[in-house]
Amino acid sequence: MERLGFCIIGCGGIAHLHAEGASSCEGVDLYGCDIDIKRAEELMGEFGGKGVFRDYEEVLRREEIRIVDICLPHHLHREVAVAALEAGKHVLLEKPIASTLKEADDIIEAARRAKERFGTKFMVAECWRFYPPAVKAAQLIEEGVLGEPFLVQANTFAYYVPSGWRRKLDEMGGGAFLDRGIHFVHMTIWLGGGDVEAVFARTTHRTVREMEGEDSGFAMIDFKSGVVGQVNVSWGTISPPRLPNIAVYGSEGTVYDLDGLYLAVKGREPVKVEESRLEPWMIPEEVRHFIGCVRTGAEPAVTGEMARLDLEVVLAAYESARTGERVTLPL
């Protein structure tokens, strides 16, 4: 089996789970890159890495490194992703694809050119695509078990005070709705059928004053099919009650994910149809998926265009919250 050099650029908080995923794959040589070289050294020490770099441009010059896994603050996504794609690397890029549509378009175009020129793969690391209850809910919708879905809900409520670049609007690109909420926007679009027509939203900022962006956001997504999506996101809720991560309501039944996915069809008690494994499990899984795509040539599960639509819906929500208007797509 051909050996694959895999370098994580940005060895901070989320990199640990990426390293766990990459190091569990056969034939992978792990490397780390961070401007804070100690972070790269520590991570590589823990996962048996083969080397560390301070400068990402040096990573891109190394032929043995075939896959670059970008785990950087949002304002650096475009610069590093485009450079890596132009250097002919396969690129796995943490969500959000970027924080503006122009940056997202630059990345998508660079990925298209790199695919044509070098045959490289590109995927946005939207880990909730690998969340078993969401995968099962999508399957049940597809099989028609819920009849005609009319409402898709996604909820993520917590109390969380971010630090560092996450507090700054120009580095983060937004607040809780962009950072955490985009996962739940992704699942709502996926389960709602994908054809987004318009977004109506509110954001609030009353609890987590340490950050410049909003700490909470609530959006309604209208799909062209008539399905309605509802995404509720907060980092400012103290001891929130448990709400389903996702719920889909249809003419013949309901699915909701509390501690696993429950299916209720007319006239029957709800039954558990899928377990929820712990959330962090999804990230090593998505890394293994991407490495598998590089090896086999299969298409990655999350395309740049899907991640762009997630971002467009978040930006439409911001626009709606700012103007008080319902915002139609495309932006």
Ligand X SMILES: NC(=O)c1ccc[n+]([C@@H]2O[C@H](COP(=O)([O-])OP(=O)(O)OC[C@H]3O[C@@H](n4cnc5c(N)ncnc54)[C@H](O)[C@@H]3O)[C@@H](O)[C@H]2O)c1
At 20, the amino acid letter reads: E
Q: Which of residues 215-244 bind ligand X (CB under 6 A)?
A: none
Starting at the edge strand found earlier in the chain, the sheet holding 261-265 runs: 271-274, 261-265, 253-257, 246-250, 149-157, 228-234, 216-223, 196-204, 327-328
Contact status: 146 vs ligand X (CB under 6 A):
no
Do residues 5 and 29 make contact, with C-beta atoms less than 8 angstroms apart?
Answer: yes
Of residues 283 and 321, the one with the C-beta less far from ligand X: 283
Cα–Cα distance between 117 and 88 in angstroms, integer? Answer: 8
Q: Would you count residue 175 as binding ligand X (CB under 6 A)?
A: no
Residue 75 interacts with ligand X (CB under 6 A): yes or no:
no
- Burial zone of 128 (CB within 10 Å; 0-12 exposed, 13-18 middle, 19+ buried): buried
Using the minimum distance from each CB to ligand X, give the nearer residue, 39 or 89. Answer: 39
The C-alpha atoms of residue 305 and residue 313 are separated, in whole angstroms, by 12
Give the residue, chosen from 60, 72, 91, 327, that forms a contact with ligand X under the rule CB under 6 A.
72
Bridge partners, 236 (sequence order): 159
Establish if 214 lies at the interface with ligand X (CB under 6 A). no
Q: Which of the stretches 7-15, 111-119, 148-156, 197-205 binds ligand X when contact is defined by CB under 6 A?
A: 7-15
Does residue 69 bind ligand X (CB under 6 A)? no
Phi, psi of 252, deg, nearest 5: -115, -10
Range in contact with ligand X (rule: CB under 6 A) among 11-19, 153-161, 195-203, 209-217: 11-19
Q: How far apart are CA 73 and CA 282, in angstroms?
A: 20
Question: To the nearest whole angstrom, how small is the minimum distance from the Cβ of residue 270 to ligand X?
Answer: 28
Q: Which is nearer to ligand X, 83 or 273 (CB)?
A: 83
**Shortest Cβ 260–ligand X spacing (Å):** 20
Least distance in Å: CB of 143 to ligand X? 28
Taking CB under 6 A as the criterion, which residues in 275-294 touch ligand X? 283
- Map the footprint of ligand X across residues 124-143, applying CB under 6 A: 127
Query: Residue 301, interface with ligand X (CB under 6 A)?
Result: no
**DSSP bridge pairs for 125:** 94
Beta strands across the sheet bearing 51-53: 51-53, 28-33, 4-9, 65-70, 90-94, 122-125
260 interacts with ligand X by CB under 6 A: no
**Residue with CB nearest ligand X?**
12
Q: Choose between 34 and 214: whose C-beta lies nearer to ligand X.
A: 34
In the region spanning residues 24 to 63, those forming contacts with ligand X, defined by CB under 6 A, are 33-36, 39, 56
How far apart, in whole angstroms, are the C-alpha atoms of residue 69 and residue 43? 14
Query: Read out DSSP for 211-273?
Result: SSS-SEEEEEEEETTS-EEEEEEESB-SSPPP--SEEEEESSEEEEESSSEEEEETTS--EEE
Of 56 and 249, the one with the shorter C-beta distance to ligand X is 56
Using CB under 6 A, list all residues that contact ligand X: 9-15, 33-36, 39, 56, 71-74, 76, 94-95, 127, 164, 179, 283
